Amino acid sequence: MGEKWVLMKTAQTPTNIAVIKYWGKRDETLILPVNDSISVTLDPAHLCTTTTVAVSPAFQQDRMWLNGKEISLSGGRYQNCLREIRKRAREVEDKERGIKIEKKDWAKLHLHIASYNNFPTAAGLASSAAGFACLVFALAKLMNVSEDESQLSAIARQGSGSACRSLFGGFVKWIMGKEDDGSDSLAVQLVDEKHWEDLFIIIAVVSSRQKETSSTSGMRESVETSSLLQHRAKEVVPKRTIQMEEAIQNRDFASFAKLACADSNQFHAVCLDTLPPIFYMNDTSHRIISYVEKCNRSEGTPQVAYTFDAGPNAVLIARDRKAAAQLIQRLLFYFPPKSDTDLDSYLLGDKTILKDAGLEGLKDVEALSPPPENGSAQKYPGDVSYFICTRPGKGPILLSNDKLALLDPETGLPK
Ligand code: DP6
């Protein structure tokens, strides 16, 4: 076996947004939650992580680069993921190149990892979920691991809880499990991305100057101090999860929206019930909630659901294309771009919705009239940084095109 070779694999993994939230751990190291959660996977064309993993006898140590910058792998979460996946590595042979790695060799061989998000990491859009899911998925392919996606999800979970839900497309449930060793705390797919194709998702990336409390420390403080969290985990989420699964199976948007909004609001109520209280939403987030509530009420039946994670960004799920077009009209009326921003860089992702809304340029946005259901016509330019329009999407995939690899095939260093 020559000592020069580099063997690598590249994968792409989506991010996900919870509609029944995970908030609180019963085991901090294994990352075991206090309740089940349910998420929708977002289209990787608009929000995903790409990761290349490489192995070579020439590598001196495990190394990782995130968005081009080298980062440390010494943290417990990385170490746990690497250890668990190495344990499951099997023999790998590339006959053409005369490379053979025996099962026992993996313990001695070092890895290079390069990862890249196609969306701004700083925007607070669950980059760790896609990141850890992609790391585990790509390593499983490189190491010829035979475990299925659910079993891999239990490894990704040890990198970041929400990451376990990014191993599938469509709607996904993270089953909290009962075992102390975490072996039954894993993700399963409820339905794939084709089951409910009508849905549109618009994310408002809300401008914020404040550095938020991380999810990890926020939920630790909630577990220690919030009695509402205990009530939520024991009494509310178990029933709500069953109802949410039914709503998804039946494509019952009215129930889906009611449950998703209630769950987001309860998660933020738990944050307020924490000592000291945690504020993730800001005035813009609250404004968006009240616009959506008013609009849903005036339509008679819900057209849009909202959900907010550990930050001020709104994730808005519209029942169909028509509702999404109407929503973007309203959002752009209240939150127009600043005068120096063009519409093209203000709405990212699937721009086809703009045409449906009759919005071809900034002039059309300026000409929008105030939504009938709302008395106030006050506008807030600059309060939203940009919008992303997307859909429910597919799960992780392996990229076979070598040009998309983030590491050089000769040196195993970032390109
Ligand atoms: C509000 O998965 O980021 O987004 O497990 O500590 O890494 P760790 O936390 P993380 O928490 C996500 C919390 C949430 C809700 C959710 O995604 O379910």
Ligand 1 centroid–CA 212 distance in Å is 13
Task: Output the pLDDT for position 125.
Answer: 74
Task: Output the pLDDT for position 253.
Answer: 98
In a domain, 2, yes or no: no
Which CATH number do you get for residue 345? 3.30.70.890
Looking at ligand 1, which atom is closest to the CA of residue 162? 2
Task: Output the pLDDT for position 121.
Answer: 64
Percentage, residues of the chain above pLDDT 70: 98
Which CATH number do you get for residue 30? 3.30.230.10
**Hey, what amino acid is at 336?**
P
Ligand 1 centroid–CA 149 distance in Å is 20
In a domain, 1, yes or no: no
pLDDT at 66 over 70: yes
In a domain, 412, yes or no: no
pLDDT at 181 over 90: yes
Q: Which residues of 56-71 are buried (b: 16+ CB within 10 A; e: fewer)?
A: bbebeeebbbbeeeee
Ligand 1 — pocket residues by CB below 6 A?
18, 21-23, 31, 37, 128, 160-162, 215-216, 309-310
Q: What is the pLDDT of residues 115-129, one digit of tens each?
A: 999 877 656 676 689
Residues 222 and 76 in one domain: no
* Residues sharing a CB contact under 8 Å with residue 43, sequence separation 6 or more, in sequence order: 14, 349, 350, 390, 391, 392, 393, 394
Ligand 1 centroid–CA 200 distance in Å is 23
Q: What is the pLDDT of residues 213-266, one digit of tens each?
A: 899 999 999 999 999 999 999 999 999 999 999 999 999 999 999 999 999 999
Ligand 1 centroid–CA 336 distance in Å is 30
Which residue's C-alpha comes closest to atom 3 of ligand 1?
A: 215
Average pLDDT on 40-60 reads: 96
Task: Output the pLDDT for position 235.
Answer: 98
pLDDT at 2 over 70: no
pLDDT at 55 over 60: yes
Looking at ligand 1, which atom is closest to the CA of residue 37? 18
Looking at ligand 1, which atom is closest to the CA of residue 159? 7
Residues 30 and 61 in one domain: yes
Looking at ligand 1, which atom is closest to the CA of residue 39? 18
Return the number of other C-beta atoms located less than 10 Å from residue 182's C-beta.
17
Which residue's C-alpha comes closest to atom 4 of ligand 1?
A: 309
Task: Output the pLDDT for position 4.
Answer: 85
Ligand 1 centroid–CA 215 distance in Å is 6
* Residues sharing a CB contact under 8 Å with residue 317, sequence separation 6 or more, in sequence order: 19, 40, 199, 200, 201, 256, 257, 260, 304, 305, 306, 307
Binned at pLDDT 50, 70 and 90, residue 108 comes out as very high
In a domain, 409, yes or no: no
Residues 366 and 273 in one domain: yes
Residues 159 and 204 in one domain: no
Average pLDDT on 340-365 reads: 90
Binned at pLDDT 50, 70 and 90, residue 304 comes out as very high
Alpha carbon of 368 to those of 242, 289, 293, 329, 360: distances in Å?
A: 41, 20, 20, 7, 12
Looking at ligand 1, which atom is closest to the CA of residue 21? 18
Binned at pLDDT 50, 70 and 90, residue 340 comes out as confident
C-beta separation of 307 from 262 below 8 A? no
pLDDT at 63 over 90: yes
Task: Output the pLDDT for position 41.
Answer: 98
Ligand 1 centroid–CA 66 distance in Å is 20
In a domain, 414, yes or no: no
Residues 220 and 184 in one domain: no
Ligand 1 centroid–CA 139 distance in Å is 22
Residues 208 and 246 in one domain: yes
Task: Output the pLDDT for position 233.
Answer: 98
pLDDT at 1 over 60: no
Which residues sit opposite 13 in a β-bridge? 49
Residues 383 and 271 in one domain: yes
Range in 21-30, 67-76, 338-347 the model is least confident about: 338-347
In a domain, 233, yes or no: yes
Range in 2-11, 190-199, 347-356 the model is least confident about: 2-11
Cα–Cα distance for residue pair 63/110, rounded to 1 Å: 8
Q: What is the DSSP letter of 368?
A: P
- What's the domain count of the chain? 2
Which residue's C-alpha comes closest to atom 14 of ligand 1?
A: 309
Tokens of 110: 């070092």
Q: What is the pLDDT of residues 394-403, one digit of tens each?
A: 999 999 998 9
Residues 179 and 231 in one domain: no
In a domain, 45, yes or no: yes
pLDDT at 374 over 80: no
Residues 164 and 106 in one domain: yes
Averaged pLDDT score across all residues of the chain: 95
Residues 52 and 129 in one domain: yes
Which residue's C-alpha comes closest to atom 6 of ligand 1?
A: 216
Residues 347 and 208 in one domain: yes
Residues 324 and 207 in one domain: yes
Q: What is the pLDDT of residues 153-179, one digit of tens each?
A: 999 999 999 999 999 999 999 999 999
pLDDT at 387 over 70: yes
Sign, CA torsion 254/257/261/262: positive
Task: Output the pLDDT for position 126.
Answer: 66
Ligand 1 centroid–CA 22 distance in Å is 6
Report whether the peptide linkage leading into residue 276 is cis, meaning its omega lies within 30 degrees of zero.
Answer: yes
Binned at pLDDT 50, 70 and 90, residue 185 comes out as very high
In a domain, 413, yes or no: no
- Ligand 1: residue of 21, 41, 176, 215 to mutate (most ligand atoms within 8 A of CB) is 215
Average pLDDT on 34-62 reads: 97
Average pLDDT on 293-301 reads: 94
Q: At CA 335, angle to CA 330 and CA 336, rounded to 5? A: 100
Residue 226 lies in domain: 200-390
Which residue's C-alpha comes closest to atom 1 of ligand 1?
A: 309
Looking at ligand 1, which atom is closest to the CA of residue 17? 17
Ligand 1 centroid–CA 329 distance in Å is 31
Task: Output the pLDDT for position 373.
Answer: 84
Looking at ligand 1, which atom is closest to the CA of residue 160? 7
Ligand 1 centroid–CA 161 distance in Å is 6
Which residue's C-alpha comes closest to atom 5 of ligand 1?
A: 161
- Ligand 1: residue of 16, 153, 162 to mutate (most ligand atoms within 8 A of CB) is 162
